[in-house]
Amino acid sequence: MEAELLKQLVTNPAHWPVFLILAVVVIFIVKFVGVLAEAAAKRIWSNAKDKKALLSFCRFAAQVVAVALVMYIANAVYWQHNIKRFMPASVDKPINTCDATVKLIIESQDERNTHFMSKGGYLAFGKGNEAILVTAAPDSWGRPVASNEYQFRGLFKMDASSTAAGKPVNILRDAEYVQVKFLEAPNDFRLIRGEAVCVLNSDVRISMEFSEQKATDQKVYLRDMTTIKETLK
């Protein structure tokens, strides 16, 4: 990685002013340290027996320290200046994977505790009538969790051929809502509460909470995207 950074810095004229400024700083530091070393060496020299040899040694030691200090500072400045440029933030990286765990608690007296092998669902980020990113699965799970409360649970994944694949994670900031649907759920159920967690690239985690609402065509929505947008800053 160091070789790649050096290549890009040296071959890109836009970076040359940085080298010029760094060179001026290095020269200034060397001169400044040299003056201090000279003053210190003369003071020691005036109190030493073998004055000539000690003066030469002090000058040499001061120069070694100065060069080492300058190299350390220059290296630190170099990496601090360029590491963020060539290593994008997690939200700027392309989407390769997206896994979502979704749980909806609905009002129901259903007593089944089962794995719906052929009735899955999906979670989608949408804008207008268009889907930005979709996670889905062909199956889901259901079980009663309390009196008149039934839970649907799904483990959804983004298809590798999705149009979202390869686009930056922060594209989800454009989403206007999140839509969830379970195929085994009643058409017009009442959602008591819900939650979902999406993990993109095994790195960016987005947590969501669905408030109480009446479903339409088995669908419920999260429309307050404030928390999601903050996560993707």
DSSP label at 92?
G
Q: What is the pLDDT of residue 2?
A: 46
On whether the CB atoms of residues 150 and 108 are closer than 8 A, the answer is yes
CA 122 to chain centre: 24
User: How far is C-alpha 108 from the geometric centre of its chain's CA atoms?
Assistant: 39
Give the 3-state secondary structure of residue 229. Answer: helix
**Cα distance between residue 135 and residue 156, in whole Å:** 5
CA dist., res. 197 & res. 154, Å (int): 11
> Would you write out the chain's pLDDT as a tens digit for each of its 233 residues?
445 545 555 555 555 566 566 666 666 666 766 666 666 666 665 655 555 565 666 666 666 676 677 777 766 666 666 665 667 889 999 999 999 999 999 999 999 999 999 999 999 999 999 999 999 999 999 999 999 999 999 999 999 999 999 999 999 999 999 999 999 999 999 999 999 999 999 999 999 999 999 999 999 999 999 999 999 98
Question: What fold characterizes domain 91-231?
Answer: Lipoxygenase-1 (2.60.60)
For the chain, the domains span: 2-86, 91-231
pLDDT of residue 88: 80
Structure tokens at 179: 């839509």
pLDDT of residue 57: 63
What CA–CA distance (Å, rounded) separates 150 from 108?
6
Burial of 95 (0-12, 13-18, 19+ CB in 10 A): buried
Question: Which amino acid does the sequence have at 166?
Answer: G
Q: Chain centroid to CA 34: how far?
A: 44
- Rounded distance, CA 100 to CA 135, Å? 7
